[in-house]
């Protein structure tokens, strides 16, 4: 039995979009040269690159949901060039430079698609702030400065007064600004890319795959009303890779949650007093992520949960508690906007590994996967999906060699119930340690 995403319709980014055109579903027997499972950042990039490399091939891209309903449309809208915070600790500077180059290649690719197809997704090169509230946060910022110096990347400190002019709040004590991050509306970006796929890619939505088996040299993906037969399969399904029997005990499903407001009125915007279109991530990784969107919405993200059953693990009681935590964080920062309501609270599930290692490569003959983005999916999904297509057709590029060198095998997890207990305890401990930064 394959467990499905089971996401609800609470995602603010998705609900802010116009209604989608009717979906094309998997029906009958479909034959393809390549099947791509998962239409998020990785799957879309893989299908596009396959179509470019093999213009005469038929590529079928299939997803259990509508495009942008899943994790790729549920993130906080950052496309970050710098390696993940844990990867920044890597002792080899060449390793970090390769990650940086891969992330920047992804950003360039996404920007090219946005410009070429006129995708309306609030795409903007505005950099990001990494903010600290108290002494604990300042200590993390000082360490981050050291890492930036080692990497040779530009940054500058932002004091409380300057930060307050941008953010419209005096809650933060200091920040470090880095210029290479892009902001966007993730659901709009993902949907826009799906609407402009090459002609030899067929997109099938709302078509969950219930089983996967190899028969006569072909992979057979069985859905509710049809199947796909293809000799080569690319998995861009992140955490759901384990549902097909791969990396089964190596991926941890974690959901991070966000809430946002309706767009501020002119009067509320005056009281807010800050700028539009910025993003702040916490110096302490378990702290609060904060966004002001280009269309005047304030977004708060600071809650993490272990979700072994994905969306089915989220109860209304859990959502209410998370929403209350978000409300406290919002009022701490913007008490003058106390009457502004939240309109949506949502979560998105992603895969992490205990050794913070991303998987990229061939799982078995004819099956390729990019799995475990460790929470930085927009850039990593884009570049890993692109290069997975190159691997599948036997290409040899410097970028492909680089990604092979910086990825590996996620470490094994302990068995249940020890795994669940350990993850929940670690999340609770991180929240308690970071309480001053929330």
Q: What average pLDDT does the segment 273-301 reach?
A: 96
Q: What average pLDDT does the segment 173-188 reach?
A: 98
Residue 13 pLDDT class (50, 70, 90 cuts): very high
- Per-residue pLDDT of 200-233, as tens digits, reads 999 999 999 999 999 999 999 999 999 999 999 9
Q: How far apart are CA 298 and CA 263, in angstroms?
A: 8
Mean pLDDT of the chain: 95
pLDDT value of position 126: 98
Residue 116 pLDDT class (50, 70, 90 cuts): very high
Q: What average pLDDT does the segment 231-246 reach?
A: 96
Residue 101 pLDDT class (50, 70, 90 cuts): very high
Is the pLDDT assigned to residue 351 strictly greater than 80?
A: yes
pLDDT value of position 2: 85
pLDDT value of position 86: 80
Residue 1 pLDDT class (50, 70, 90 cuts): low
Q: Which residues of 321-355 are buried (b: 16+ CB within 10 A; e: fewer)?
A: ebbebbbebbeebbeebeebebebbbbbbbbbbbe
pLDDT value of position 429: 75
DSSP notation for 366-426:
TEEEEE--TT-HHHHHHHHHHHHHHHHTT---HHHHHHHHH--PPPPPPPTTHHHHHHHHH
Domains of the chain plus CATH, in order, are 12-73+188-249+356-408 (3.50.50.60), 81-182+252-354+426-437 (3.30.9.10)
- Per-residue pLDDT of 321-334, as tens digits, reads 999 999 999 999 99
Q: What average pLDDT does the segment 425-436 reach?
A: 78
Contact 208, 26 (CB under 8 A): no
What sign results for the dihedral spanned by CA atoms 72, 236, 56, 106?
positive
H or E element, residue 327:
helix 316-333
pLDDT value of position 62: 98
For 393, phi then psi, to 5°, come to -100, 5
Alpha-helical (H) ranges within 168-300 are 186-194, 266-272
Q: pLDDT exceeding 90 applies to what percent of the chain?
A: 87
Give the range among 120-129, 168-177, 373-382 with minimum mean pLDDT.
Answer: 373-382
> What's the token pair of residue 36?
């791509």
Is the pLDDT assigned to residue 303 strictly greater than 70?
A: yes
Residues paired with residue 132 on neighbouring β-strands, in sequence order: 174
Residue 385 pLDDT class (50, 70, 90 cuts): very high
Contact 84, 375 (CB under 8 A): yes
Higher-confidence residue: 393 or 85? Answer: 393
Is the pLDDT assigned to residue 138 strictly greater than 90?
A: yes
Q: How far apart are CA 356 and CA 409, in angstroms?
A: 10
pLDDT value of position 418: 66
Q: How far is CA 157 from CA 144, 150, 198, in A?
A: 11, 16, 44
C-alpha closest to that of 137 among 275, 322, 281: 281
H or E element, residue 233:
strand 232-235
Contact 192, 120 (CB under 8 A): yes
Q: What average pLDDT does the segment 289-298 reach?
A: 98
H or E element, residue 43:
helix 41-53
Q: How far apart are CA 316 and CA 281, in angstroms?
A: 27
Residue with tokens 């004590």: 173
Q: What average pLDDT does the segment 126-152 reach?
A: 96
- Per-residue pLDDT of 332-349, as tens digits, reads 999 999 999 999 999 999
Q: How far apart are CA 204 and CA 221, in angstroms?
A: 13
Q: How far apart are CA 250 and CA 262, in angstroms?
A: 39
């Amino acid at each position: 039995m394959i467990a499905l995403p089971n996401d609800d319709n609470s995602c603010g980014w998705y609900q802010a979009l116009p209604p989608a055109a009717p979906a094309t579903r998997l029906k009958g027997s479909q034959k393809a040269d390549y099947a791509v499972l998962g239409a998020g950042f990785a799957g879309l990039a893989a299908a596009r690159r396959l179509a470019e490399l093999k213009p005469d091939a038929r590529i079928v891209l299939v997803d259990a949901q509508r495009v942008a309903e899943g994790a790729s449309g549920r993130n906080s809208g950052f496309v970050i060039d710098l390696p993940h915070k844990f990867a920044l600790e890597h002792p080899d500077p060449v390793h970090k430079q390769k990650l940086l180059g891969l992330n920047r290649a992804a950003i360039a690719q996404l920007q090219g698609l946005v410009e070429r197809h006129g995708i309306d997704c609030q795409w903007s090169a505005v950099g990001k702030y990494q903010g600290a509230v108290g002494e604990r946060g300042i200590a993390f910022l000082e360490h981050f400065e050291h890492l930036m110096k080692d990497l040779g990347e530009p940054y500058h400190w932002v004091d409380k007064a300057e930060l307050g002019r941008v953010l419209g709040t005096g809650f933060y004590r200091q920040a470090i600004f880095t210029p290479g991050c892009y902001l966007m509306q993730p659901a709009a970006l993902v949907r826009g890319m799906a609407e402009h796929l090459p002609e030899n890619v067929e997109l099938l939505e709302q078509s969950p795959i219930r089983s996967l088996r190899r028969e006569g040299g072909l992979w057979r993906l069985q859905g509710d009303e049809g199947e796909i037969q293809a000799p080569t399969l690319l998995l861009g399904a992140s955490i759901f890779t384990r549902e097909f029997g791969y990396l089964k005990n190596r991926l941890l499903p974690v959901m991070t949650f966000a809430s946002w407001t309706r767009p501020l009125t002119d009067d509320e915007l005056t009281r807010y007093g800050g700028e539009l279109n910025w993003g702040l991530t916490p110096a302490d990784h378990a702290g609060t992520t904060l966004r002001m969107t280009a269309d005047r919405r304030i977004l708060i993200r600071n809650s993490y949960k272990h979700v072994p059953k994905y969306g089915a693990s989220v109860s209304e009681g859990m959502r209410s508690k998370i929403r209350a935590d978000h409300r406290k964080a919002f009022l701490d920062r913007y008490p003058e906007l106390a009457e502004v309501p939240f309109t949506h609270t949502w979560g998105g599930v992603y895969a992490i590994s205990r050794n913070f290692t991303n998987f990229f490569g061939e799982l078995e003959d004819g099956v390729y996967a990019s799995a475990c983005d460790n929470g930085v999916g927009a850039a990593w999904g884009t570049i890993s999906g692109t290069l997975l297509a190159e691997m599948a057709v036997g290409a040899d590029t410097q970028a492909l060699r680089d990604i092979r060198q910086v990825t590996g095998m996620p470490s094994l997890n302990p068995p249940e119930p020890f795994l669940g207990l350990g993850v929940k305890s670690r999340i609770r401990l991180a929240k308690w340690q970071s309480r001053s930064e929330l």
